[in-house]
Chain A
Amino acid sequence: MRIEGKGRIDAAEQIRFSFDGQRYTGFKGDTLASALLANGVRLMGRSFKYHRPRGVLTAGAEEPNALMEVGRGAAKVPNVRATVQEVYAGLEAHSQNRMGPLAYDLLSVNDLFPNFLSAGFYYKTFMWPRAFWERLYEPVIRRAAGLGALSGRHNPDHYEKAFAHCDILVIGSGPTGLMAALTAALGGADVILAEETNEFGGRLLSEDEEIDGQPGADWVGGILAALRETGRVRLMSRTTVTGAYDQGTYGALERVGLHVNGPAELPKECFWRIHARQAVLAAGALERPLAFPMNDRPGIMMASAVRSYLHRYGVVAGRKVTLFATNDDAHRTAVDLMACGIDVAGVVDSRPDAKALGDYPLYAGGEVIGTKGRKALSEITIRHNGAEQKIATDCLGMSGGWNPTLHMTCHMNGRPVWNEEITGFVPAPDAVPGLTPAGACQGTYSTAGCLAEGVEAAKRALTALGGKLPEMEIPQASDAVGGSKPLWLVKGKGRAWLDFANDVTSKDIKLAAQEAFTSVEHMKRYTTQGMAPDQGKNSNIGALAILADATGRAIPETGTTTYRPPYVPVSIAAIGAGAQGQGFAPERFTTSHDASVDRGAPMVPAGLWYRPSYFPRPGETTWRQACDREVTMTRNAVGVCDVSTLGKIDIQGPDAAAFLDFVYTNMFSTLKVGKVRYGLMLREDGHVMDDGTTARLGESHYVMTTTTAAAGEVMKHLDFVQQCHRPDLNVRFISVTEQWAQFSVVGPKSRELLNGLLDAPIDNESFPYMGCGDVSVMGVQGRLFRISFSGEHAYEIAVPARYGDALYRQLVTQAETLGGGAYGMEALNVMRIEKGFITHSEIDGRVTCFDIGMDRMVSAKKMCVGKPAAQREGLKGKHRQQLIGLKPVGAVKELTAGAHLFETDAAPTRVNDLGYVTSVAFSPTLGHFIGLGFLQDGPNRVGDVVKLVDHLRGVETRVEICSPVFIDPEGERLRG
């Protein structure tokens, strides 16, 4: 029911929305919960286990009951708190976790058998017959469990991620936070003030309270104006700080577009990473529910929520309101309601000495011991002065006092401390470095106290930053603290809920204790208390108190409560923003990318790069046809391939040679200027790290190439070796991978092709095999390396990247006139397998130089990285599987990579496993399949026949072991 003239909603702006298909009207400023309450809707959801009818309990993010699905189709969001979701035109909400309509949920049959569904019952049954778990029990349990449903479709909405820095982050904008922000800003700090809801002011907007003689809300307006005037405060509303992390890092979730029917490009949410040099936690407190029999009916809600709905939204949740409390605060609810003409049927206060604040029936020393009304509260039973009495009511506000919102102080393992005075936990001192709790979140409950502590906390932060302290005047306000007396459990018939969402009652806690789950952690895990969407905000303290009682211990010795990030649940789309689609990793493109695409090449990812797979020509229908043609074309004429993705590291300095001798197994100091050498690099643990060629361009100038995959790792490794092992060496290096476009020109006509482009022609004298040097390519200064990854007479030509596209197109066009053309990764792979050259398919990180037959490349004359560790017995010897070549000799001619090798008469089992296949290709040069692999004692088995088994692809065939070099073993083509 709406009270005219009350609330902060804009009565001029009507908003139409729907719930479970029914249309309703709310106002701008309403939450879904306030608008539904205003329309008389009480039943908003179903509980997790018993599927009990539930209404709204709170007016904030801690809501356990009123969880809904909002939106339609792929944009549907499950488990939305109706108490947080603001209404907007066209909003569509549906109740969830029900079978059939909300009012007649078939699964509420569970509620008839609570004794059979007590805590942990599922650990004790559903074990027979064994196969029934996956087939019957589990599917049934799964279907009944869960809350809302995902659409199962890709997220269609936009989410953002952003970063912010400030001197002082103030979390919460109640009286404490506002004073802290003002003090900090006047002290010269750059401030971020984060407020969870749509409006600044915190609890002041939900109370009828004066500060400095003004209504609370007006005072808030004044402070906000003052904050804006400083020019130092970034005001972030609808922003929940979700977590505290190391060195002043905070996560925060801003609801940017969830409250409007906005354009598609408007982000729904933005996840912030805020770095704050200091922070003030002014998060307030959450009211503590009371555990009394049948305390979960729609219409039973927090007393503070009743005031919030009244003052903030102009809504009363019933026509005949009762209250059940342990403190004075709840009495304010009665007074405020009566001021609006609402009938208050009684205030039941468990304190025998409670005093009424107004003209309403007070039951001092009384307790609520029962309630009635299946889908909405209709009556309560109270026990007062030894007698039971029934009171008709449709809304019961309850208050068991307050719990400080200290969650953030637990995020770095801080353990809260029990404070007997407020009978609650308060933050441990300095639980999060640089974060100062102030106000209600550390147990200071009077408004006057909060205002003062806000100033004090900001001054502490300013002092830590070395700033000046402004003169602050503390505003005049009430110093009432509520005066709560604890009441943990009202005895009586019926279940008393603690964790509303997960249906954990006081009996479950007691059962856990009875069954030896007496540690708080055991109790939580056994009963699932605290694991529901409200993360135990409503139930942790109550459950702990009941556990303490059940085990005969005091609360502080029973345990403490702790919280982990995030403070409120955060959309995966928000924390993972930017990654959907292509955004997960950077994309790297070669200079020839467009030219390759122009020629119809499918581009495939290679690490972060994209490379052409093959270049189809008219008439070719499969990749194999193109690949075979490219191989043959290259081996017979000339092929061109972009190899710029290989890592290129420019190394200079008087000690460059000594440095390379240390990182490579073989010698580079002996390499002559103008020459290139293949190098093998080990990890310090003795396994092969990477390989590549390094060219000596000058006495103290080398260019190293790495594999595409290991480029980053090698760069890091070189930095490590130089800085951490050999800072004595005078050498500098830098990655030039992006700076040079490099193309291989391969085949018998490669020199002919190049000589058509080079300003000064080359010959075998000027550029012998493994020679290198500067060249001029059509007027552009470049570099030429006579190296080969195919076994052919080949070159790699490098030019500054800005000429890459032009040179590549030129090379390919020229090649085509010579009967050649571009080739892609498939052909490159075939040619390197034909020649027995290894890639990371072979050197997979577990392989040693012994395994690949290169142990003689480890120079005996010098120390190098990995040399000592490579000498361990496990890294060499007959037990190792070593590199070999394979060709089919059985009926099946196709080989598969990933297959394992066995003796021909052995069963294909682990104990008989002799090796595996790493790379296979159909060799158009040889006319059959070939493969590379590793075989135990392989080199001594050349000529033997073994069995290749690929269970997964159903391949079993006989293969002959041969040398891994299938073509031109003498290297005549290379030198031609």
Chain B
Amino acid sequence: MRIKCPLCGDRDQREFTYMGHETYLDRPADEGWSPAWDTYLHLRDNPAGVTRDLWYHGAGCTSWLLVERDTTTHDILRVDLARDAKRGRG
């Protein structure tokens, strides 16, 4: 598998670490435990098809990436810097 890092270019998979679904970008604001937190930490749509997930380019520029992929074919459709995506969501 290869991922095109927006900063470093096309790189081999072993430079990256996977974390999980982009849900992890949407940290709830609730100070206490709430259903939103349960959803955030645990529950997943887990789609068989296109999904967006977070990868860390730890052996490269140390950027977190938001990768749009197909979980049935492993096609990679789009890669963005997670910080840009997060800023876009506010």
**A interface residues with partner B (beta carbon < 8 Å):** 245-249, 273, 275, 412-413, 433, 684-685, 712, 715-716, 719-720, 722-725, 727-728, 863, 867-869, 871-872
Contacts and interface: CB of A to CB of B under 8 A. Distances in A.
Counting from the closest, the 10 A-B pairs by CB-CB distance are: A247-B2, A246-B1, A727-B83, A723-B83, A246-B74, A723-B64, A871-B33, A724-B82, A868-B33, A868-B37
Nearest to A862: B31
B30 interface: yes
Contacts of B17: 716
B82 A869 contact: no
Given A716-B17, A869-B41, A724 B1 contact: no
Nearest to B37: A868
Given A246-B1, A275-B2, A863-B31, A720 B41 contact: no
A639 to B, nearest CB: 36
Interface in B1-36: 1-3, 12-13, 17, 19, 24-25, 27-28, 30-34
B33 A249 contact: no
Contacts of B49: none
B55 to A, nearest CB: 11
B56 A869 contact: no
Contacts of A248: 2
B39 interface: no
Contacts of A685: 41
Contacts of A724: 24-25, 54, 64, 82-83, 86
Contact of B86 (A245, A719, A723): A723
B76 A868 contact: no
A618 to B, nearest CB: 46
Nearest to B81: A723
7 contacts: A246-B74, A247-B3, A249-B1, A275-B12, A724-B54, A724-B64, A724-B82
Contact of A684 (B32, B41, B76): B41
B74 A720 contact: no
A719 B17 CA distance: 13
Given A249-B2, A275-B12, A727-B83, A720 B34 contact: no
Contacts of A869: 33, 37, 41
Interface residues of B, number: 33
B31 A867 contact: yes
Contacts of B76: 247
Contacts of B58: 712, 716
B65 to A, nearest CB: 9
Interface of B: 1-3, 12-13, 17, 19, 24-25, 27-28, 30-34, 37, 41, 54, 56, 58, 62-64, 73-76, 81-83, 86-87
Nearest to A683: B41
B41 A246 contact: no
A512 to B, nearest CB: 31
B4 to A, nearest CB: 9
A520 B17 CA distance: 37
Contacts of B31: 863, 867-868
A727 B62 contact: no
Contact of B64 (A273, A433, A720): A720
A720 B37 contact: no
Contacts of A716: 17, 56, 58
B35 to A, nearest CB: 11
Contacts of A413: 73
Contacts of B34: 868
Nearest to B4: A247
A728 B86 CA distance: 9
Contacts of A715: 62
Nearest to A735: B62
**Taking each of B3, B32, B64, which has the highest tally of chain A beta carbons within 10 Å of its own beta carbon?**
B64
B19 A727 contact: no
A247 B76 CA distance: 8
A902 to B, nearest CB: 33
Given A246-B74, A719-B64, A724-B54, A868 B32 contact: yes
**Taking each of A245, A247, A712, A716, which has the highest tally of chain B beta carbons within 10 Å of its own beta carbon?**
A247
A434 to B, nearest CB: 11
**Taking each of B17, B31, B54, B81, which has the highest tally of chain A beta carbons within 10 Å of its own beta carbon?**
B31
Given A247-B76, A249-B12, 11 more contacts: A246-B1, A275-B2, A413-B73, A684-B41, A723-B86, A724-B82, A724-B83, A863-B31, A868-B32, A869-B33, A869-B41
A910 B27 CA distance: 38
Nearest to A867: B31
